[in-house]
Amino acid sequence: ESIQVELIDRFGLLPQPAKNLVLISELRMQAQAIGVLKIQGDSKAARIDFAPDANINPGKLIELIQTQPKTYKLDGVTRLVFQFSEDSGQERILSIKTLLSQLANA
């Protein structure tokens, strides 16, 4: 957050690509904290590769897959694949951040 404040102070309001870069940096820190190895995606779908010892709530993961099978599915033991309903890049990033927050073992 302090980097974002500094950028705004020096350059003024950030354009959307710069805002997305800040969001992606936050997402990376959040992902590393719970044991995510990789996040890949495009405008329609994404996948998250978890470390074998990821600090996630398996009950919440199973609940997501069972209640929304068209959106979420497992691809192997450590990969979650899901579909996006969001249109913008910023909305997709925020959607992944929310998903990781839901899956994190509190």
Task: Return phi, psi of residue 80, to 5°.
Answer: -105, 125
Mean pLDDT (whole number) for 21-40? 94
Q: How far apart are CA 77 and CA 74, in angstroms?
A: 7
Tell me the C-alpha distance between 46 and 81, whole Å: 6
User: In DSSP terms, which residues pair with 81 in a beta bridge?
Assistant: 47, 73
pLDDT averaged over the chain? Answer: 92
Query: Structure tokens of 106?
Result: 């509190």
Reported confidence tier of residue 46, pLDDT bands at 50, 70, 90: very high
Report the pLDDT value the prediction gives residue 106, as an integer from 0 to 100: 62
pTM equals 0.84
Whether the CB-CB separation of 55 and 104 falls below 8 Å is answered with yes
Residue 31 CA to residue 76 CA, distance in Å, equals: 19
What confidence score (pLDDT) does residue 75 get? 94
Instruction: Decide if pLDDT at 35 tops 90.
Output: yes
User: Distance between terminal CA atoms of the chain?
Assistant: 23
